[in-house]
Amino acid sequence: MNKESLTIQKIKKQQLLPLFYHDDITVCIAVTKTLYEAGVRCVEFTNRGSKALENFQDLVKERNNSMPEMLLGIGTIKNGDEATIFINAGADFLVSPVFDSSVCDVANLNKILWIPGCMTVTEIHTAQKAGCNLIKLFPGNILGPGFVEAIMPLFNGLDFIVTGGVDTTEENLNAWFKAGVAGVGMGSKLITKDILQNKNYEELKVKTKKVIAAINNVIKAK
C-alpha cells in the first residue's frame, strides 16, 4: 500500500481530524501533544498566519522527538508553491479549501495525499477525475448532512470528510456520519479560543476523548 493510501486509511480510522493555527509555537506544541495524549494520530495545522511555516517546521521536529505515530498535515494550501514549501518542511498530507490544479500536480509529483475542498457536485467531479480519493466538503454548515446524503450515490469509491460547522455533540456527529461521511474536521468547536487563551490543555484532552467516544458510539449505532 502506498503512502497516500496509508494516510487515507489512518484518517478514516481516526474519523476525527482536529485543525488549528496559533502564532505561539509553545501553544502549538502543547495543543498537538495534548491531542496525541487523547488518542489523536492525525492533525491539520492550518496555513493561516505569518508564523505558519516556522511553527510547522518546529512541530515536525517535536513530532519526531515525542509523537512518532502522529501524521502532521498542513491546511489552507491554495497553490502549488505553498504545497511545495510545506512538503519540503515535512508535511505528511495537504488540505485545501478549494480545488487547485497546481496543488494537485505537486501532490501527485511527490506522491503525497492531497485533500481538496469542494462545495459543488461539479467540483467533486473535477477532483475525482484528477485522481483524488478523499474530498473535504466545505463549509459544512452551509452544505448540511442532506447534501452529503444526496451526493453519495453519485460518487462511488470516494470518501468525504466534512469541515466547518461540525459540532462536538453526539446528535450533530450522528447526522454527519449517518449521511455517509468518513470523517469530520473540527477546529474552533474543539480547540476553542478559551482553551487557547487560558492554556487549558486538560480541558482539551477531556473534550477530545469525549468527541472520539461520541463518534465511536455513532458508528456502532449505524
Cell of 33: 501533544
pLDDT of residue 37: 98
pLDDT tens profile 148-159: 999 999 999 999
Cell of 174: 450522528
In this predicted structure, the answer to whether residue 1 has a pLDDT above a threshold of 80 is no
In this predicted structure, the answer to whether residue 222 has a pLDDT above a threshold of 90 is no
Give the Cβ contact number of residue 189 at 10 Å: 17
Residues in the chain: 222
Which residue's C-alpha cell is 512518532?
A: 68
> Are 83 and 106 in contact, with CB atoms under 8 Å apart?
yes
> Are 96 and 77 in contact, with CB atoms under 8 Å apart?
yes
Query: What whole-number distance in Å separates Cα of residue 146 and Cα of residue 47?
Result: 30
In this predicted structure, the answer to whether residue 71 has a pLDDT above a threshold of 80 is yes
> Are 18 and 186 in contact, with CB atoms under 8 Å apart?
yes
pLDDT of residue 113: 98
Which residue's C-alpha cell is 498566519?
A: 49
pLDDT of residue 22: 98
Backbone angles phi, psi at 32, to 5 degrees: -65, -40
Q: How confident is the model at residue 220 (pLDDT cuts 50, 70, 90)?
A: confident
Q: What is the pTM of this model?
A: 0.96
What is the amino acid identity at position 23?
D
∠ CA 78-79-80 to the nearest 5 degrees?
145
pLDDT of residue 155: 97
Domains of the chain as residue ranges with CATH: 3-214 (3.20.20.70)
